[in-house]
Amino acid sequence: MPGLAVFGAQWGDEGKGRIVDFLAQDADIVVRYQGGNNAGHTVETGGRVYKLHLVPSGVLLNKVCVIGNGVVVDPKSLLDELDELRQGGVKADKLFISDRAHVVMPYHRALDALEEAALGAGEIGTTGRGIGPCYVDKFDRAGIRVCDLIDKDDFAKKLKAALEKKNAIITKIYGGAPLSFDKIYAEYCGYAERIAHMAADTSLMVYDALKADKKVLFEGAQGTLLDVDFGTYPYVTSSHPLPSGAAPGVGIGPNMIDKVIGVAKAYTTRVGKGPFVTELLDDMGERIRQKGHEFGATTGRARRCGWLDLVILRYAVRVGGADSLAVTRMDTLGGIGDVKVCEAYQIGGKRVENFPASLEDIAKAQPVYLDFPGWTDDISHIREFEDLPEAARKYIELIEIVCGAPVTMIGVGPAREQCIVREKAF
Ligand code: IMP
């Protein structure tokens, strides 16, 4: 049963899209298991740059793609994305959406904005896509699923009940304007007509495929430190980006995922608020941001940049069960001068090697750095590990030793072929 899961080992934006796109060449099905259009996967292929938000990265290779039940689906965003892909020459005609996936409604987006505004300086820094409020409704047993949306009568009943509550919150707590049932109903019935043919029991599809020995790639969005349980809570997203989230997020047993790859950038970035131990607030941070084009694919926000943090990576390997790591953007670090790697934290005079739960502890942590000479050469043409400059090889070897996992893929540029593969994943 060749089930392979790929997840982010940092705060998202690790380059999972390009790794999934690469691995998808050998896959039969690519499945997203959590998150929504808060994700932004940038994939460069055939000289074009594609920004994917909801559609699995396998779409660019015309693979069967599945949006699992654990994903929250904004139908307008999905349809816009599909239109854009088709305008760019991508067929995107093998996409299936779980009929159990929850639908992001306009009141989710409205509440996301109102709740963030109410938090003021303490805001989470969400993407504003209504993701958190949609997951809240799912767990409150008040959500609207794809199967509910495509049944017009059922949808009318559920929307009426939801709007009554949401409008009370929007108007009475936040002083906002109420949303109109008629407008949302008409708009969403239109979306339902366009997505109904894609709705399916995708849990069954994936199960059957795995039983038939087809290769299934599970694509995580966001990353370990945005996981609602293991991330820097409350500065997290409202789902489980860790690969263990793929079992409930797709509807398969955990024993059907037999290999896990964690994806990490050669340095660290994050968007949104929250502590970040190795953050660089100086010229070097700006150099990495400019060289790596570190601006969000979804919101365009400048990403915060810092040195590689091996406390985070070791933690991600453990809580995510990574068998191996893919390290992206080694080319970005080339030519920026000497580099540093954080191997532990110093908190209140104590050496700490395990990522703490308390945000106060993380905020107090001082990085313990190892200095590296850096590599000046352009490495974007290199395809064999042995051909990398010695400093770059040492950098990768340190990651392997500290994290206890082999680095089997190394990204040296944005294009599909700019990847050093030391071991085949499937
Ligand atoms: P939300 O997912 O929009 O609720 O945002 C919660 C937190 O997750 C914020 O810090 C966002 O910036 C962050 N976030 C959500 N999606 C992504 C992503 O795809 N990459 C990086 N950060 C993300």
Q: Determine the Cα–Cα distance for residues 24 and 62; give it in Å rounded to an integer.
A: 10
The structure's pTM equals 0.96
Considering only CA atoms, which of 296, 300, 302 is closest in space to residue 280?
A: 302
Task: Tell me how far the alpha carbon of residue 12 lies from the centroid of ligand 1, in angstroms.
Answer: 8
pLDDT at 112 over 80: yes
Probe residue for ligand 1, chosen from 226, 235, 305 as the CB with the greatest number of ligand atoms within 8 Å = 226
Q: What does the pLDDT read at residue 298?
A: 78
Those residues with Cβ within 8 angstroms of residue 120's Cβ, 6 or more apart along the chain or in another chain: none
Give the pLDDT score at 44.
80
For a pLDDT cut of 70, what percent of the chain falls above it?
100
In ligand 1, which atom is closest to the CA atom of 239? 2
194: enclosing H helix or E strand: helix 181-195
Which DSSP helix (H) or strand (E) runs through 398? Answer: helix 390-403
The DSSP annotation for 136-169 comes to: HHHHTT---BHHHHTSHHHHHHHHHHHHHHHHHI
Nearest to residue 265, comparing CAs of 186, 217, 177, 328? Answer: 328
Q: Which pLDDT score, from 0 to 100, does residue 20 have?
A: 93
Q: Is it true that the peptide bond before 133 is cis, omega within 30 degrees of 0? A: no
Pocket test for ligand 1, best of 7, 11, 38 (most atoms within 8 A of CB): 38
Distance of alpha carbon 395 from alpha carbon 404, whole angstroms: 14
CA 188 vs. chain centroid, Å, equals: 26
- C-alpha of 381 from chain center: 27
Give the mean pLDDT of the chain: 96
Instruction: State the sign of the Cα–Cα–Cα–Cα dihedral 148, 151, 157, 163.
Output: positive
Confidence grade of residue 48 (pLDDT, cut at 50, 70, 90): confident
Best residue among 37, 129, 237, 301 to mutate for probing ligand 1, ranked by most atoms within 8 Å of CB:
237
Ligand 1 centroid distance, CA of 237 (Å): 6
Decide if 13 is catalytic.
Answer: yes
**Which tokens go with 247?**
């079992």
Find the 165 Cα to ligand 1 centroid distance in Å.
Answer: 26
Contact 391, 292 (CB under 8 A): no
Mean pLDDT across the stretch 91-113?
97
What is the reported pLDDT for 299?
A: 81
Question: Which residues line ligand 1 at a C-beta cut-off of 6 Å?
Answer: 11-13, 38-40, 124-127, 129, 131-132, 221-222, 226, 235, 237-238, 271-272
> Distance (Å, rounded) from C-alpha 50 to C-alpha 97?
21
Residue-wise pLDDT tens digits, 200-217: 999 999 999 999 999 999
Among candidate residues 28, 329, 410, the one with its CA nearest the CA of residue 206:
28
Q: Looking at residue 349, what is its pLDDT?
A: 94
Quickly list H helices, 235-358: 246-250, 283-291, 310-320, 330-333
Amino acid at residue number 147: C
What pLDDT, in 10s, does the model give residues 187-202? 999 999 999 999 999 9
Pocket test for ligand 1, best of 41, 42, 127 (most atoms within 8 A of CB): 127
Closest CA to 21 of 324, 382, 326, 416: 416
Q: H or E element: which one contains 205? A: helix 202-211
Q: Which one of the listed residues 13, 28, 309, 323 is annotated catalytic? A: 13
> From atom 5 of ligand 1, which residue's Cα is the shortest distance away?
126
pLDDT at residue 1 tops 80: no
pLDDT digits (tens, 9 = 90+) for 256-277: 999 999 999 999 999 988 999 9
Distance from the alpha carbon of residue 266 to the mean position of ligand 1, in angstroms: 20
The total of other beta-carbon atoms located within 10 Å of residue 141's CB is 6
Residue type, 124: I
41 pLDDT above the threshold of 90: no
State whether the Cα torsion 69-202-58-386 is positive or negative.
Answer: positive
Question: What are φ and ψ of residue 344, in 5° steps?
Answer: -165, 170
Q: Whose CA is nearest to atom 12 of ligand 1?
A: 272
Lookup: tokens for 142: 């008040």
CB 277 within 8 A of CB 317: no
- The confidence band for 36, taking pLDDT boundaries of 50, 70 and 90, is very high
Instruction: Tell how far the Cα of 160 is from the centroid of ligand 1, in angstroms.
Output: 29
Q: How remote is the CA of residue 126 from the centroid of ligand 1, in Å?
A: 6
What's the CA gap between 359 and 405, in Å, rounded? 27
Atom of ligand 1 nearest to the CA of 8: 20
Six token digits for residue 26: 């050998």
Q: Please state the rounded mean pLDDT for residues 92-115.
A: 98
Ligand 1 atom closest to Cα of residue 132 = 4
53 annotated active-site = no
Does residue 183 register a pLDDT over 90?
yes
Q: Is the dihedral of CA 54, 7, 96, 160 positive or negative?
A: negative
Q: Which of 46-60, 166-180, 238-252 has the lowest mean pLDDT?
A: 46-60
Catalytic residue, chosen from 21, 28, 41, 74, is 41
Residue type present at position 32: R
**Is 376 a residue whose pLDDT tops 90?**
no
Model confidence pLDDT, tens digit, residues 283-332 = 999 999 999 999 987 788 899 999 999 999 999 999 999 999 999 999 99
Question: Nearest Cα to 6, choosing from 49, 399, 414, 27?
Answer: 27
